[in-house]
Amino acid sequence: SYPRVVWIAGGLLKGADVDPLVAAVAPRLAGVVLLGRDREQLARSLARHAPSVPRTVVPSGDDGAVVTDGDSVMREVVAAAVRLARPGDTVLLAPAAASMDVFTDYAHRGRAFADAVRALG
Q: Look up the CATH number of the domain holding residue 68.
A: 3.90.190.20
Instruction: Give dist(CA 7, CA 57) in Å, integer.
Output: 12
Q: What is the mean pLDDT of the chain?
A: 92
pLDDT band at 1 (very low <50, low <70, confident <90, very high): confident
pLDDT band at 101 (very low <50, low <70, confident <90, very high): confident
List Cβ neighbours of 10 (8 Å cut-off, separation of 6 or more).
Answer: 34, 35, 36, 37, 38, 39, 42, 60, 95, 96, 97
Domain that holds residue 35: 5-118
Whole-prediction pTM: 0.91
Is the pLDDT reported for residue 106 higher than 70? yes
Total of domains in the chain: 1
